[in-house]
């Protein structure tokens, strides 16, 4: 058995790897088809390179790998557990505090 298949067996590892590849593609890699022609007076023009995140207006510069990996992402908002029946007082207090 090859070692390359061992990481793909776990769904969490594969999902994380796909998010990483997508983030690198959108924030770090400059795409030739997204460039803009910028005119510089009578001397002609030059091309401004852009990433998909720059084209979408999410950022104003291509990110480096160090900047991408040091960016802190806030955790998702807390959701109360789904259960049947009446909720306990503790869960109701947590819902009033965090939701």
- Indicate the pTM of the whole model: 0.62
Closest CA to 47 of 37, 61, 34: 37
- Dihedrals phi, psi of 28, to nearest 5 degrees: -105, -35
- Could you list the pLDDT tens digit for every one of the 99 residues in the chain? 455 666 667 888 888 889 999 999 999 999 999 999 888 888 788 889 999 999 999 999 999 999 999 988 888 887 777 778 888 888 888 888 876
């Amino acid at each position: 058995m090859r070692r390359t298949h061992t990481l793909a067996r776990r769904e969490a590892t594969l999902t994380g790897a796909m998010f990483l590849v997508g983030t690198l593609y959108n924030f770090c890699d400059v795409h030739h088809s997204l460039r803009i022609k910028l005119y510089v007076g009578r001397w002609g023009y030059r091309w401004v390179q852009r990433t998909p995140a720059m084209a979408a207006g999410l950022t104003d510069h291509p990110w480096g790998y160090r900047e991408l990996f040091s960016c802190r992402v806030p955790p998702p908002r807390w959701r109360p557990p789904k259960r049947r029946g009446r909720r306990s007082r503790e869960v109701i207090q947590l819902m009033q505090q965090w939701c």
